[in-house]
Structure 1
Amino acid sequence: MNAESIAEHNGSEWRGRSAPTVGVEEEFLLVDAETGQPRLCNAEVAAAAGEFGVELQLELSRCQVETNTPACHDSRELRASLLGMRSAVGAAAIQDGCHLVAVGTPILAPWRLPISASDRYRRMERQFGVLAIEQAVCGCHVHVEVPDRETAVQVSNHIRPWLPTLLSLSANSALHRGLDSGYASWRSILWSRWPASGPPPLFRSADHYDSVVDTLVDSGLLMDERMVYWDVRPSCHLPTVEIRVADVQPTVDETVLVAALTRALVMTATRGVERGDAPPDVDLEILRAAAWIAAREGIAGRAIDPRTGRPVGARGMLDALVEHVHESLDELREFRLVRNLLRREFETGNGSQWQRRALREYRDPVTVIGLAARRTLQDSVPIAPGGESSAPDDDAASADALLE
């Protein structure tokens, strides 16, 4: 998310506006157009993407890139930004003979994936060994503006119980190395091996949060604050809460759904903090159990309601989440958007369900990868060097069908 674009909206000014801004980071795999295997060409694709007006971040593995939207004021603006970025990066990838694919884990991959050329990543490889060179997972990180760092920590406390529900909705990594992993989000299981990952503990204050992080860094467990990989955290460089629980989404509209729910959740929590409401005192082990089941089952199966510790259905938890944030969605005028996108998700299935259906139907991981690459650019429009779209009116019409 662009720091300059959000800086003008931070601090006390937020309290006078009806809604916080939102931005999204999307991580993608680069795969060979013929074999479907990861292509170690992120630096080359990043250079080509610059010609299309998009600045890419290089991820830990050389087969990964990341896009960052600017701060957006509504889902229509966010959708347009996401579509433009996927179009431009997809075009840059094709120039290098590969495809951009939005899946949480590689559907095909060798056991070792060389890391990107940077001093930081080399240090991570030395310090974390195999954990670093096996790392090629792709997430979707949503940044939502908050007034200050103390509020960010308290908002994180309030939204902890809903993190497993967001994970179940966003699961998009059932297939890994040619096989069904048995999990809807295998990415989240792999990611949980890192220190300071998964659901976070409850923090009394920003000072308490900083003290815990300082201890983890001073002990050598983390290299620095940037390695705090909890599913929600105060951003270390932006005036936002960063929700990191989701797999990268197969289509832009699914990213918009996750972002809209997340922004409404942060809005609801922020107002609870301002009223002085105590956050739900959810035991960390119950929350971790709920996250594990969400990773296993996705939206089709069981869940644990962390607020009660009782078993429920995953769809029931999604209904409860929508009800919890209904007032904020109404204020954003996005309740209909979320309702329509959720209905579509339940009818057609989320990313993990699509992956499994595709593998059963085609029995060929390479074919599934090719189809996933097409879905990644679904609804996108051709982008010319310089960043101009050739069909903006068609895209606007498509967005209006969901947003109004």
Structure 2
Amino acid sequence: MSAQCDYSFGIEEEFFLVRPHSRLLATQVPARLLKRARAELGECIESELLQAQIEIASPVQCDIGQARRQLGELRRGLAELAHEHGLALLAAGTHPLGQWREQSPTDKPRYRQLVEDFQIVARRSQVCGLHVHVQLPDGVDRVQAMNRAMPWLPLLLALSTSSPFWDRLNSGLMSYRQAMYDEWPRTGIPDFFAGEAEYDAFADLLKRAGAIADAGSLWWAIRPSPNFPTVELRIADACTHLDDSLAIAALFRCLMRHIARRRAEPPPCDAATRRLIDENRWRAKRSGLQAEFIDARGGSEPALEQLRRLRELVAEDAVALDCTQALRRLDTIAERGTSAHTQLAIYREHRQRGASRNGALKAVVDWLLHATVPAAADAAPTPSAPPTPSAPDSP
């Protein structure tokens, strides 16, 4: 991955393919859909582990406005092709009506091997995420930069939460995707490696032992990309709104520039700090923007206060990268809540009106279809979102 600009970036968005009349996940997706999508939209369209999943991987970007135009066109183009095959596109960390037992893996050697190796863990992997790549300047050690970014990972998760439902139930979590992903090995918060050399040596050790084929099987919440000269953010849920994806990508890009410009500063690399990051990740997946994050002194900081502090920290970087406008969307997320908040509000509203659990979940799916690609959706009217985020209920 390279481009003639500083801190070039790329965005990968994963989606579900849905049968719009039943609102259920597709169980068999025609191979010609992917073939035609790649022919008409480019090789940026990729299959995923399950047939009901599909991915858009943006070209290398230098400008967040251009990224918005390209990804918007790709969402609309893919949705239109899916519609021609009787399907619709849905962006969320989990599908509210999804049932993993009904799903079929994509028939490719890589995915067949994953199912063989990980069995029920792979078959249950009915989740979609947002990945962001940022290329750092020459001479910046990606792993050392990753170490310094790790304390901010729970906040980036909290900003993206979109998976409150699992197996047709309110999970009680704002990001059940993170809980489900913890079933896989080599996920979650990585350890503090001293640098790229130590990281690569660990990957080589696992490869020699036959545990992994390559470093691409290190699926941590952040990592040095095995395929591009980037740091890859992997913790975020798939965002229903494209502008939410772009705001999180812009914030991560600004953070990486801030870190790269201060490469001499020592990262927090002790075991207690790593465990605190993981504790805060739990709080983010449980409570999202209502989380209270623990600091190194044993105090706590509300997620929205931490967001304010991070935005102040990277304000200079936002100006330099022309990301100020994209970051204003973070104000909307803070006021309106994430996709998870809106999904839960719609569900509760319909249940209070007397709808069955499945009926309320269908209303949630209708909103998700509409919000994923507003111009292409053939869905029910969008229900009102709550004016301010509210804490999640118990299951």
Q: TM-score, normalization: structure 2?
A: 0.87
Q: Is residue 335 from structure 1 mapped to residue 320 from structure 2 by the alignment?
A: no
Equivalent residue, structure 2, for 1:205: 195
Whether contact under 8 Å (2:14, 2:238) holds in the other structure is: yes
Q: State the partner residue of 2:63.
A: 74
CA gap of 1:148–1:107, structure 2 versus 1, over 3 A, is farther
In 2, the alpha carbon distance for the partners of 1:43 and 1:289 equals: 42
Residue in structure 1 matching 2:7, options 20, 33, 38: 20
Q: Are residues 324 and 123 of structure 1, via their aligned partners in 2, closer, same or farther at CA, if it must alter by over 3 Å?
A: same
Contiguous gaps of at least 5 residues in structure 1: 10-16, 382-404
Contact 1:251-1:378 within 8 A present in 2 as well: no
Match of 1:233 among 223, 240, 246: 223
Amino acid corresponding to residue 371 of structure 1 in structure 2:
W
Structure 2 residue identity aligned to 1:33: P
Q: 2:47 aligns with which of 48, 58, 74?
A: 58
- The alpha-carbon distance between structure 1 residues 300 and 215, as it changes in their structure 2 partners (threshold 3 A), is same
What's 1:133 paired with? 123
Aligned counterparts of 1:98 and 1:78: Cα–Cα separation in 2 = 25
Q: Which amino acid aligns with 1:284?
A: R
Q: Deviations over 1:256-307 (max 9, x none)?
A: 100110100110111111xx111123522211111111111101232234x5
Residue 336 of structure 1, CA deviation: 4.3
State the distance in 1 between where 2:207 and 2:362 align: 41
Report if aligned partners of 1:30, 1:38 keep a CA contact under 8 Å in 2. Answer: yes
Residues 1:356 and 1:280: Cα distance change in structure 2 (over 3 Å): same
SS in 1 for 2:283: helix
| Structure 2 counterpart of 1:189, from 143, 167, 179 | 179
Amino acid at match of 2:114: M
Following superposition of structure 1 onto structure 2, how do residues 268-347 of structure 1 map, counting pairs within 5 Å?
A: 268-273=258-263, 276-281=264-269, 283-305=273-295, 307-338=296-327, 340-347=328-335
Find the residue that maps to 1:144 and give its secondary structure.
strand
Following TM superposition, by how much is the alpha carbon of 1:216 offset from its aligned partner in structure 2, in angstroms? 2.9
Does the 8 Å contact 1:45/1:89 carry over to 2?
no
Per the TM alignment, residue 379 of structure 1 is displaced from its structure 2 partner at its CA by 6.3
User: Which runs of at least 4 in structure 1 moved beyond 4 Å after TM superposition?
Assistant: none
CA distance in 2, matches of 1:318, 1:157: 19
Q: Does 1:31 align with 2:21?
A: no
- Deviation at residue 50 of structure 1 after TM alignment: 3.1
In structure 2, distance between residues paired with 1:183 and 1:231: 18
Give the whole-Å Cα distance in 2 for the aligned partners of 1:61 and 1:249: 19
Kept in 1, the 8 Å contact 2:10–2:133? The answer is yes
How many Å separate the matches in 1 of 2:195 and 2:218?
Answer: 17
Which SS does the other structure have where 1:197 is aligned?
coil
1:372 aligns with 2:368: yes
User: Structure 1 residue aligned with 2:141, among 136, 139, 151?
Assistant: 151
| Cα deviation code 1:204-244 (max 9, x no counterpart) | 12111012222333334434311111111111111111111
Contact 1:42 1:58 in 2 (8 A): no
For the 8 Å contact 1:157–1:279, the answer to whether it is kept is yes
> Within 2, Cα distance between the matches of 1:211 and 1:142?
24
Number of positions where the alignment pairs a residue of Structure 1 with one of Structure 2: 365
Q: In structure 2, what residue type is equivalent to 1:326? A: A
Letter matched to residue 59 of structure 2: P
SS at match of 1:141: strand
Distance in 2 (alpha carbons) for counterparts of 1:50 and 1:220: 33
Conservation of the 8 A alpha-carbon contact between 2:129 and 2:238: yes
**What TM-score results when the alignment is normalised by the length of structure 1?**
0.86
Residues 16 and 25 in structure 2, CA contact (< 8 A), matched pair in contact too? yes
Q: Corresponding residue for 2:380?
A: none
- Give me the whole-angstrom Cα distance separating, in 1, the residues matched to 2:343 and 2:211: 35
Q: Using a 3 Å threshold, how does the CA distance of structure 1 residues 311 and 218 change in structure 2: closer, same or farther? A: farther
Is it true that 1:123 corresponds to 2:113 in the alignment?
yes
Residues of 1 paired with 2:24 and 2:196: CA distance?
43
- Asked if the contact 1:103/1:250 (under 8 Å) is kept, the reply is yes
Give the whole-Å Cα distance in 2 for the aligned partners of 1:168 and 1:139: 13
1:402 equivalent in structure 2: none
Q: Give the alignment's Cα RMSD to 1 decimal.
A: 2.0
